[in-house]
Each structure stands twice: as C-alpha cells, then as structure tokens.
Amino acid sequence: MSSPRASSFPSRRTRCTTSAARSDKGSSSPARWTPAPCSTFSPGARSGRTRAAGRRPMQHSHEALDRPGGLSGGHLLSPLRHREFRVLWAGMAVSLLGDGIFLIAIAWESYTLWNAPAALSIVGIGMAVPTVLFLLAGGIVSDRHDRRLVMMCADGIRALAVAVLAVLVLAGSLRFWELVALVAIYGVGTAFFTPAFEAVVPDLLPVEDLPAANSLDQFVRPIALRLAGPFLGGALVAGGAGLAFGVDAASFGASFLAVAAIRPRVPARDETNASALVAVKEGLHFIRKRVWLWGTLGSAAI
C-alpha cells in the first residue's frame, strides 16, 4: 500500500505492481507473476476513497478473496474477541453437539422401528432431500430478510420437530413414517439456517478476521459433530433414544437464544427487486466464473 503522506509526492503519479508483490500480504491463492494494471490517481481521488471507506456495505468472505491480494489471516481465536460472534459461536457449538447426538439417536431409533438395512437409508434420504430442495430458497430468503429472524425460525422448526420426536419415543407410539416425516421437517429447517448463518458471520466480524473464523469453524465443527456429539449420543441412547432427542431439542433452544442475543450491523440490501429465478441464475453464474469452487462443491457432494 502506498504511503498516506500525499504531500511528499507530485499531485498525480502512476503506480504499477505485480500480483506476486501483493501476495506477500497473506493472499489465500498462489502468487501469479503477472503485472497488475497501472493506476493513476490524485489526492482528491484518494480522499474520495477514504470517504467511501467510512461506509461498510455488506461484506461476504468471497468478495475479499476475489480481490487481488486476498485476505491476511489472523490468529485462530481472533474472531472470539468480538462479542457478537462469540455469543453466536457458543450457541452454534452447543447446537453442533446436539446434532452429533441426533445422528446416533436417529440411527438407533431407525433400527428399533424397522430392523432392516434400508431403514437408515430411507431416513437419511428423508432428511437430505428437503435440505437440498430448499437450500436455494433458504439462501434467497436470508439475503432478502433479517438473517437473525431466519435463523431463529429455522432453529424453532428443528427444535419443535425433535421435541415431538422425543415425546413420541418416550410415549412408545412413534411409527416409522412419522420418523421420516419429522426428519424431513428437520431438513427444511437446516436448509434455511445454514445459508443464513454463513451470511451473518461477515456482518459480525471485520473482514480481516473472516479467514480465522472459517478456520475455527473447520476445526470445531468436526470435533463437535463427529466426535464429542456422537460420544455423548451413545451415552444418552443407553438411557433411551427419547432422552437423546430431548437433549438435542434443548441444544436448538440454546442456539435460538444465542442468535436472539446478537446484534449484527445492518448490511446493505439489494434494491433491484430481482426475482428469485434471477437470483438463482446470478448465483450459478458466480459459481461458473470461479473454477476453484467446482472442486469444493464436488467434494462436498461426494
């Protein structure tokens, strides 16, 4: 970055850099030794940029990654310095533990109701299909409405579905088709919560802390969802699947309260009033232009 002491330089000057020179600032992509466009600017233009920098429009992590030079990653725990993110993440961690418990309880109950190899597959499909079908709708809703409200509604839907599941199991009246229907409702809630959560994080953190927040998520999520949660789930299922479902429902309550407690800055909204179909087309166009996303999406699908 050029020196801010503009008075030491002529009124107009030209600056040329290479992308490799910029890459030493923590770029997330490999340096490309190609010259960057030269820019000519004046102190007046620079002061205009300073005024514009005072405004903080809605910032997504991909926008920072797309900029030449990328992002400078901070310490892994640096996002936790911010109260809003810390509260949200505490609720999310509890919810992830509940999700891990849910995976064990749902497998146990599936085999209990229908002791067949296809039982767990049908339940898994019943949860995955609604998630996939409603995921695009969840993204559009989270872009056009209050993300806190979207997340709270999604947590409420999932908490209600799992609570009903717990009551039916404890009463001994749960039937297999009811199990599939309830996990489908659970999947719909997940489809709306996930994009809203991913979109609200940039509203809680400065842009330089977004890479650390992503790293923290990648570190904590598998521990809670694949290790600690299933361990607790096995212990709880030993006392009955109904108890495990009840604990999972309570974990969504913790997430609901955490989301209700945060106050993200209000992001800039799209004023074009584009239709949902146009928004989907724009999203697909965005993915098509960024080849590095293809492998990520492919591995996630597998």
Task: Work out the mean pLDDT of the chain and round it to a whole number.
Answer: 78
Structure tokens of 96?
A: 């992830």
pLDDT category, 71, cuts 50, 70, 90? Answer: very low
pLDDT value at residue 286 = 72
Is the pLDDT at 2 greater than 50, yes or no?
no
C-alpha distance from residue 145 to each of 117, 122, 185, 258, 274 (Å): 42, 33, 21, 19, 14
Q: Cα–Cα distance between 112 and 114 in angstroms, integer? A: 6
Question: How crowded is the C-beta side of 37, counted as CA atoms within 13 Å?
Answer: 4
| CA 162, chain centre distance (Å) | 22
Question: Residue 301's pLDDT is what?
Answer: 60
Q: Find tokens 């299933």 and name the residue.
A: 230
**Range of weakest confidence among 12-26, 68-82, 138-152, 159-173:** 12-26
**More confident position, 213 or 40:** 213
What distance lies between CA 219 and its chain's CA centroid?
A: 14
Task: Assess whether pLDDT exceeds 90 at residue 125.
Answer: yes
What integer pLDDT is reported at residue 187 of this predicted model?
Answer: 96
**241-294 pLDDT, tens per residue?**
999 999 999 999 999 999 999 987 765 555 555 666 776 677 777 767 776 667
Q: Which of 94, 104, 127, 149 is nearest to 262 (CA)?
A: 149
Helices (H), the chain: 19-23, 43-53, 61-66, 83-113, 118-144, 147-171, 176-200, 210-222, 229-237, 241-261, 276-289, 292-301
CA distance 26 to 75: 13
**What tokens were used for 99?**
């999700």
pLDDT mean over 46-55:
43
Average pLDDT over residues 215-229: 92
For the chain, domains (ranges, CATH) are: 82-264 (1.20.1250.20)
CA separation for the pair 108, 153 (Å, rounded): 28
Q: Evaluate if residue 58 carries a pLDDT over 50.
A: no
In 10 A of CB 231, how many CB atoms? 14
| Rg of the chain over all Cα atoms, to the nearest angstrom | 23
Which structure tokens are listed for 50? 């300073």
289: which 2 tokens?
Answer: 């232009």
Length of the chain, please?
Answer: 302
